[in-house]
């Protein structure tokens, strides 16, 4: 998703990526973070109340309308899915594992048919059995226009689903999903999709009993299949109170620990207030966490100088890349040597400083994030060093016919908190000036920025943007940006370079047939490097995230999948 803060069409893009909502902390466990709290007992115990302090309200708490990563893992406490992410720290947490299903799915030889079997003993919060028909119905209702907002892949992937309108209008259902019995589902796809087990982690795969479906009001009291049930939902997710689902059984759920008796999710708070409360860690805030609010540079400096506070900071990464995008239909960016010159001229050190410093950003020379699950292949085709290679840039500009330099316009967001904003733009402007490139900055307000940079017909020639994946493989990272068949001329377009290369498209199709994640990752990494030779983007940095948690929090687990502290693992003192 380009911008996780607003979910729109494919992979959800929004006007800006903020330090507050772009992602979260990762790869920090209790053994190295002080997560066991002030007491000497590091063993997590059941009981108590966990408080979640977030900036963004958990709106539309309906599995049809949510992304799995939405709400900082809150939905996964209530909605179980066919598969889920492995709830472990760091890279180990990038694996997909069974949830409601007995395994991650059995593919046909060409990965166009996927079969799942449900575990025995699965129950809803009212004690009734969860069936395969309920999972199918949950998926079908996600196609209803009044319940839009969730991941859009199924409309593209399922046979005959392109024009399906959901069960409220189309009583026939989706023939692409077969339920031969109460525990079996068979999915028929339009094309090979080796990533289908990852898609099955999305909340659209949560079961919904048709008899309990209340349409747009379902979010007020969705029927829980997870360890917690909703007992109160105030002001469309501004405050959600969860209590134990007594019919959930740990014997059917190896991933969720469900230590607290109660979880109180409070949202719509100012980010600085959240960090102040977590820092003070008084009263109920001692047993509090945040899943969407990062420390900024000034706050980080304060915590770094305090041993007790620094021990309560989770650190890590979410798969995301901030980058400069070129539209090669706009001069002078139609000339590959101009694009290469800009790549060489870039001073990543100044860009990283503008993003908050090396504690909050890693310089990027690859489009894929620097994590193995994506297929990260360390390369640097346009080595600029730490401060830019102005001489090489000038050489290429001369070869391109711009011996006396050139003037270009860089479009960016005006929002001060965005990683696509004015501070990053100014750093790029200063770096390119050393190579004889004069950069005029064009700042836009959020809506205008989003509309222009996502337009297939009026996209700027040069702008700052970013991309994050819905699951940690190369497919949802490379395909939306570089598959020519995904270019959209009359709507939200994410193929910023308007690339439509038959060999690239064919390799994407070939990798999608692979059901071995390691084999697919190797191929995605090679494709990333091949695409980089076209110089259609300039990777800037991969964000690093820092988040505080209360002093009574134990068992901190933050994976590279979501980059968010996993509250399904947290215990309170």
For the segment 218-263, what is each residue's pLDDT rounded down to a tens digit? 999 999 999 999 999 999 989 999 999 999 999 999 999 999 999 9
Res 434 pLDDT > 80 = yes
Domains 57-265 and 320-543 fall in the same CATH topology: no
**Token pair of 225 as six digits:** 């299949």
In percent, how much of the chain has pLDDT > 90? Answer: 78
Is 409's pLDDT higher than 60? Answer: yes
> Is there a cis peptide before residue 160, judged by omega within 30 degrees of 0?
no
**Do residues 432 and 443 lie in contact, with contact meaning Cβ atoms separated by under 8 Å?**
no
Whole-angstrom Cα distance, residue 141 to residue 150? Answer: 11
- In sequence order, which residues have a C-beta less than 8 Å from that of residue 470 and are 6 or more positions away? 1, 11, 67, 68, 69, 151, 202, 476
What per-residue confidence (pLDDT) applies to 469?
A: 85
| Domain residue spans of the chain | 57-265, 320-543
| pLDDT bracket for residue 4 (50, 70, 90) | very low
Secondary structure of residue 78 in the 3-state scheme: coil
pLDDT for 92-125, tens place per residue? Answer: 999 999 999 999 999 998 999 999 999 999 999 9
Could you read off the pLDDT of 208-228 as tens digits, one per residue?
999 999 999 999 999 999 999
pLDDT mean across residues, the chain? 90
Give the CATH H-level superfamily of domain 320-543.
Dipeptide-binding Protein; Domain 3 (3.10.105.10)
Residue 560 corresponds to which tokens in the numbers above? 């590279």
Q: Look at the block and give the residue holding tokens 């990533």.
A: 195
DSSP 8-state class, residue 433: H
Find the angle CA(385)-CA(391)-CA(396) to the nearest 5 degrees.
105
Phi, psi of 286 (to 5 degrees): -65, -25
Report the 3 state secondary structure along 487-532.
CCCCCECCCCCCCCCHHHHHHHHHHHCCCCHHHHHHHHHHHHHHHH
Q: Centre a 10 Å sphere on the Cβ of residue 534 and count the other Cβ atoms it contains.
A: 17
Q: Are 241 and 28 in contact (CB under 8 A)?
A: no
- What is the value of pTM for the model shown? 0.90
Strand partners, 121: none
Nearest-10 crossing angle of helices 475-482, 502-512: 160
- 57-265 falls under which CATH superfamily? Periplasmic binding protein-like II (3.40.190.10)
Contact 128, 197 (CB under 8 A): no
pLDDT tens string 455-497: 878 899 999 999 998 899 999 999 999 999 999 887 788 999 9
Residue 417, pLDDT score: 59
* Higher per-residue pLDDT: 191 or 386: 191
Backbone angles phi, psi at 539, to 5 degrees: -60, 135
**Is 228 exposed, middle or buried, given 0-12, 13-18 or 19+ CB atoms closer than 10 A?**
buried
Q: Three-state DSSP class for 10?
A: coil
Residue 446 has pLDDT above 90, yes or no: no
pLDDT score of 57: 84
**218: Cβ–Cβ under 8 A, 6 or more apart, which residues?**
62, 208, 212
Q: Please tell me the predicted confidence (pLDDT) of residue 562.
A: 85
Whether pLDDT at 25 is above 50: no
- Dihedral sign for Cα atoms in the order 63, 163, 503, 345: negative
DSSP one-letter code for 104: S
User: How confident is residue 418, by pLDDT bands cut at 50, 70 and 90?
Assistant: low
Q: Is the pLDDT of residue 554 over 70?
A: yes
């Amino acid at each position: 998703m380009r911008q996780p803060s607003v979910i729109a069409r494919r992979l959800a893009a929004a006007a800006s990526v903020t330090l507050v909502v772009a992602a979260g902390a990762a790869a920090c466990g209790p053994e190295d973070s002080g997560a066991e709290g002030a007491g000497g007992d590091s063993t997590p115990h059941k009981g108590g109340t966990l408080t979640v302090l977030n900036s963004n309200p958990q709106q539309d708490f309906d599995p049809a309308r949510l992304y799995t990563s939405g709400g900082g893992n809150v939905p996964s406490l209530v909605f179980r899915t066919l598969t889920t992410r492995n709830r472990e720290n760091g890279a180990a947490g990038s694996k997909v594992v069974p949830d409601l299903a007995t395994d991650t799915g059995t593919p046909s030889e060409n990965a166009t048919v996927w079969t799942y079997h449900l575990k025995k003993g699965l129950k809803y919060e009212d004690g009734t059995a969860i069936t395969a028909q309920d999972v199918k119905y949950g998926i079908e209702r996600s196609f209803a226009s009044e319940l839009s907002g969730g991941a859009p892949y199924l409309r593209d992937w399922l046979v005959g689903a392109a024009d399906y309108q959901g069960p409220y209008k189309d009583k026939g259902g989706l023939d692409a999903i077969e339920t031969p019995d109460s525990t079996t589902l068979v999915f028929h796809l339009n094309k090979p999709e080796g990533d289908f087990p990852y898609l099955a982690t999305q909340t659209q795969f949560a079961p919904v009993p048709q008899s309990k479906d209340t349409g747009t009001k379902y979010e007020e009291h969705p029927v829980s299949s997870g360890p917690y049930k909703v007992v109160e939902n105030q002001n469309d997710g501004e405050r959600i109170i969860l209590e134990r689902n007594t019919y959930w059984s740990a014997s059917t759920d190896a991933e969720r620990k469900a230590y607290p008796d109660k979880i109180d999710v409070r949202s719509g708070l100012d980010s600085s207030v959240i960090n102040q409360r977590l820092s003070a860690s008084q009263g109920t805030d001692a047993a509090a966490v945040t899943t969407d609010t990062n420390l900024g540079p000034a706050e980080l400096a304060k915590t770094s100088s305090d041993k007790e506070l620094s021990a309560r900071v989770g650190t890590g990464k979410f798969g995301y890349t901030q980058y400069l995008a070129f539209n090669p239909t706009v001069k002078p960016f139609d000339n590959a040597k101009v694009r290469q010159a800009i790549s060489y001229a870039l001073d990543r050190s100044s860009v990283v400083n503008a993003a908050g410093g090396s504690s909050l950003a890693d310089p990027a020379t690859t489009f894929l994030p620097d994590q193995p699950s994506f297929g990260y292949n360390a390369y640097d085709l346009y080595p600029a060093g730490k401060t830019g290679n102005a001489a090489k840039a000038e050489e290429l500009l001369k070869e391109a016919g711009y011996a006396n330099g050139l003037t270009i316009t860089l479009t960016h967001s005006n929002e001060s908190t965005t990683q696509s904003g004015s501070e990053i733009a100014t750093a790029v402007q200063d770096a390119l000036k050393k190579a004889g490139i004069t950069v005029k900055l064009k700042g836009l307000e959020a809506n205008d920025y989003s509309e222009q940079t996502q337009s297939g017909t009026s996209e700027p020639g040069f702008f700052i943007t970013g991309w994050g994946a819905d699951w940690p493989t190369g497919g949802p990272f490379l395909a939306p940006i570089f598959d020519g068949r995904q270019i959209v001329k009359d709507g939200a377009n994410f193929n910023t370079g308007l690339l439509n290369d038959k060999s690239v498209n064919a390799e994407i199709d070939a990798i999608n047939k692979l059901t071995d994640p390691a084999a697919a990752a190797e191929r995605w990494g090679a494709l990333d490097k091949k695409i980089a030779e076209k110089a259609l983007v300039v990777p800037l940095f991969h964000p690093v995230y820092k988040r505080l948690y209360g002093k009574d929090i134990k068992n901190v687990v933050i994976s590279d999948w979501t980059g968010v502290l996993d509250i399904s693992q947290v215990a309170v003192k």
